[in-house]
Amino acid sequence: MRRVLYPGSFDPVTLGHMDIIARASRAFEQVVVGVLHNPNKPSGMLPVEERLSLLRLAVRAYDHIEVASFSGLLMDAVRAAGADGVVRGLRGVEDVPDELQMARLNRQLGGVETVFLAASPGIAHISSARVREIARFGGAVDALVPEAARDQIVQALRRYRE
Ligand code: PNS
C-alpha cells in the first residue's frame, strides 16, 4: 500500500489521531485523512467544515498528508480518495470487535484492506467523545489535542458547546 485513507469523525482531532497520523505518515507514501459524514443525518458536535479546518491546522507540518471529507460508505471513500487501503488505530481490546467487523465488511463488499496501528500507550485513553464531554462541562482539554490547533479547537468547542 502506498496511499492510504485514515477515516474518522475527527470531532475534534485529538492527540490520539495525531499519533496514528504521524506513524502512518512514516509507514506510507501518502495519507489522506478523511472526515466521514452523512449529509442527510448530521451528527456530532462540530460542523464538518470546522473539523476539516482544525485538521488542516493540526497536520500543516506534514507535506504528504491531505485532508478531505467524504460522505457515505468508507469503501466508496477509499475509491474516491484514490487510496489503496485504510488505516485505523486500535486503542485497546475494546476497539477490536467493531473494527474487525468493519474491516471484514469493507474487504468482503468493497475489496478494501485495513491496516491497524496499535495506539501508543501514552495517548490510548484519549477519545474525541471524552474531549467533547470535558469541554461541555467547562474542563480543560489543552493536554488532549494537537498543539498546532490547540487554541482553535478550544474556541470551537466553546462555540458549539450548547
Ligand atoms: O472516528 P470514528 O467515529 O471511530 O470513525 C468511524 C468511521 C467514520 C470510520 C465509520 O463509522 C465509517 O466507516 N463510517 C462510514 C459508513 C460505513 O462505511 N459504514 C459501514 C462500515 S462496514
Q: Rounded CA gap, 158 and 115, in Å?
A: 35
Q: Rounded CA gap, 16 and 35, in Å?
A: 15
pTM for this predicted structure: 0.97
Q: Rounded CA gap, 142 and 127, in Å?
A: 13
Print pLDDT tens along the chain (162 aa): 999 999 999 999 999 999 999 999 999 999 999 999 987 777 899 999 999 999 999 999 999 999 999 999 999 999 999 999 999 999 999 999 999 999 999 999 999 999 999 999 999 999 999 999 999 999 999 999 999 999 999 999 999 986
Residue tagged active-site, from 9, 17, 37, 132? 17
- 78, 102, 130: residue to mutate for ligand 1 pocket, most atoms within 8 A of CB: 102
